[in-house]
Structures are given as C-alpha cells and as structure tokens.
Structure 1
C-alpha cells in the first residue's frame, strides 16, 4: 500500500532536552526528557508550518544547575509540565506522530524515546519512518565528520535562531536545515533509519 503524498511531504522535526549532569547522574537518578520541541515542515511548500513545545515533568531525576545552564530550563519550569505518558499521547493525538514522517539531528532523540518508553511502559509515540538529518546533511555536503547543528547552520549559511540547547528553538533550526537539504534535492525519499531499529 502506498503512503499518501501528504504524509510524505509533511515531516515532524523533533528535538528533545533531557536532565543532564556534568559527569555521572546522582545515585538513583536517570536521564529523562524534560522538553520536546517540534516543528512541522511542509516539504512541498518549502515552509515551516508549525512550531510546538511540550514541557515534561521528570519522575526519577531533577533539573540541576548544570542542566539549567545548558538548556535554560529550571526545575520550577518543568514542574509545570505534563507526565511523559501524557507527552507521548499529545505527540500521537495532536501531531500525528504515529503516522507522520519525522526527523531529528542524529539518533540521540530517537534512542532516548526508545529507552524511556521501555523503562516506563509507555507506548512509543512515533512511526517507523525516521530520518537522521545530521547524516543526510553530512552526505549532502561531502563532509568527513558529522557536524553539530550550530556548525551545520554556519555551513549552510543560515542563522541560529533562538537559544541553542532549547528544544523548541533547536527543532526550528533543524527544520531550516531540512528545508535547505530539500531545496538542494538532497532530502532522501526513503528513511535513513532501518525499520528494525524500533521498539
């Protein structure tokens, strides 16, 4: 069965922030998603058509000073967020995550969702069509090493909008890189992540 064109042309670009430390986590704590940034891209129109943010309340970790310095997020702010289970439900219901193609900068975001879903028994919210935008960018520009998002923006001649390491802003910037690649006819029609890499 062929995939409807609308589902091929519309991509959810996702970037997450998670609890983090300068070194090992404190005893009993694990890295958990605290922010999900999502920008919807219409490849056919060449536009970013939606910008979203979901704050997630951690259950087994706390936002410390290192994490706040990196992301700008505070414990008080993430305490206003939803549970991880509710965040995954919102991705499915409001952003069609289960059927829509999606992309992230590297595999960290996909792997963190996989780990956290397994650890919590929450249903994985995404479908099996994922593009690693960092890999695509590296190949399209003939680079020997895979660049970070900020470096890729410089290579592409694009501005870094907002704050780096803020999920909402990073997703917006990665979406600009996806459109940059699509404009060069370098965005592949088939996913870069194999189907057997999922839950």
Structure 2
C-alpha cells in the first residue's frame, strides 16, 4: 500500500441532498426543490508537516429537512423514494433559514470566520456525481431568490468520478499486477455500468450500503466511507467538477419566477 499522499485540502464536506420529484420526471432538468440537507464533515487524522496523509475520519454531521415553497406538497412518489414525509418538511425551515443554521455549523467547526464569512481552512465539497451542487443548489438559490452562499461556491470533488478513475487504472494493468495489487477491486465493473453508491462500495471491497438508499443522510454517510477508502488507497483528493452559479434552465423566468407549465 502506498504511503501517505500530499493532500492540499484540510477538510471535506460530503453533501447528498434530496429534492422534490414527480413520477415520470426524475431528470435533473426539473425545477426540484431541496427537501433534505445532510452533510458529513471529514478531517485528516494523520497529516504530517509535509502535508502527507491517508487517514480521513468523520468528525461532525449536520442534517436538516427543508420546506419547499414553489410546490410545498410532496408527491407520493417522492415520499416513497426518499422516505421523507409531508409532516417533516412542513415543520422544517425554508432554504434561506437552512443556510443560516448551516453557516453556524461551519463557524462552530472552525471552517469559516463568524464575522467575515471567509474560509479559515482549505476545505472541499464532495458529492456522488456533480448533481447536488451543480444542479440542486444552483436551482434552489434561483427559486429562493438568493445568490449562492460564499461558503459553497467553488469547484466540487465528484467522488464517483474518482472511483471510476481508480477502476480504469486497475483494469489497464497486467493480470499478474492486478493479482498482487493491494488496491484490487472486489469485482470487475463494466465501463458502461452506472456506478451507484452500492456498486462503488462493492467495487472497493467495502461492506454493503448501510441504511436506506435515497435517504440523504444515509447516502452521505456511505459516500463518506468511499472517500475515506480513496484516501487510504493514496488518491489525491482534489476538486474535479466545475460549478456555474449562473447556470440557467428553460423553466427559469425573471427574478426567481418559474414559468408556467412546469409541474
């Protein structure tokens, strides 16, 4: 196994939101509203003076349901998929209030300055695929008529892409090298196969998915397990997905208005 890799980031925030959805329209072009905001905060346990490390650990968690405002009633399809009930979102803060409470979480954990909001350490957002920040957060900020908070702007580490890169590197090696490799995969994955979170766990030889799939907090915890394994295998954890806070979709009108016909 490789020794510690030089790691430029001090902390990682794993995010896997859940959003409103209707049966038959689960694409990321839909005007989803965020209904669950779960985050795992990870830090290095062994970073040396040269910045080398390989042991990541979860040090804090944040979870809140979020009340939708454009379409406040959840579809039965959405509840069945996510496990989130109407009562839970009815009693939850709206997105702008959620941002304020999460900002306190960042301050309490020494990530941003309470006065200026500036980052005190170099931290990186992480998600399974690019969708959570690139799509859900950008859309939600438009619907809520607020700019993206400074604490979430910047590029994102797509964990799924890193797992795919490891897989591609492993399959390109000679059979005898693969057999000796300490980072060998538990099973071969077809390059065209969608790497869901359970498949990533299996491919990395980790224990099966823990919890309920499509529960935001459970998804987040399992993504954190994958990130910890990537660090253990010597992957240099860096952002790999660009985020455009000004991205627009066809349903977007002026000043946060959702055009008619999008239900």
Contact 1:178–1:187 (CA under 8 A) maintained in structure 2 = no
Most deviating of 31-40 and 92-101:
92-101
Cα deviations across residues 124-175 of structure 1 (Å, max 9, x unaligned)? 1303141011111111121624501111111122231111101111101000
In structure 2, what is the equivalent of residue 191 of structure 1? Answer: 239
Cα displacement (A) at 1:106: 0.5
Contact 2:33–2:139 (CA under 8 A) maintained in structure 1 = no
109 and 154 in structure 1: CA distance in 2 versus 1, 3 angstrom threshold: same
Superposed, 1:48-197 pairs within 5 Å as 48-61=58-71, 62-95=73-106, 96=111, 99=119, 100-110=123-133, 111-125=135-149, 126-142=152-168, 144-145=191-192, 146-158=194-206, 159-188=208-237, 190-194=238-242, 197=244
Most deviating of 114-123 and 57-66:
114-123
TM-score, normalised relative to structure 2: 0.66
Q: What CA distance in whole angstroms lies between the structure 1 residues aligned with 2:244 and 2:145?
A: 18
Contact 1:43–1:179 (CA under 8 A) maintained in structure 2 = no
Cα deviations across residues 89-113 of structure 1 (Å, max 9, x unaligned)? 2333312487431100011101210
198 and 137 in structure 1: CA distance in 2 versus 1, 3 angstrom threshold: farther
Contact 1:34–1:57 (CA under 8 A) maintained in structure 2 = yes
Gaps of 5+ in 2: 1-5, 46-54, 113-117, 169-188, 247-263
Aligned length: 190
Cα displacement (A) at 1:66: 0.7
SS across alignment from 1:141: helix
Q: What CA distance in whole angstroms lies between the structure 2 residues aligned with 1:41 and 1:153?
A: 18
Gaps of 5+ in 1: none
Contact 1:136–1:187 (CA under 8 A) maintained in structure 2 = no
RMSD, aligned CA: 2.4
Cα deviations across residues 60-103 of structure 1 (Å, max 9, x unaligned)? 12212111111111111111111111112233331248743110
Contact 1:101–1:127 (CA under 8 A) maintained in structure 2 = no
Structure having the higher Rg = 2
Contact 2:7–2:236 (CA under 8 A) maintained in structure 1 = no
Contact 2:40–2:224 (CA under 8 A) maintained in structure 1 = yes
Cα displacement (A) at 1:24: 4.0
Contact 1:13–1:102 (CA under 8 A) maintained in structure 2 = yes
7 and 65 in structure 1: CA distance in 2 versus 1, 3 angstrom threshold: farther
Cα displacement (A) at 1:7: 8.4
Q: What CA distance in whole angstroms lies between the structure 2 residues aligned with 1:93 and 1:151?
A: 35
Most deviating of 166-175 and 36-45:
36-45
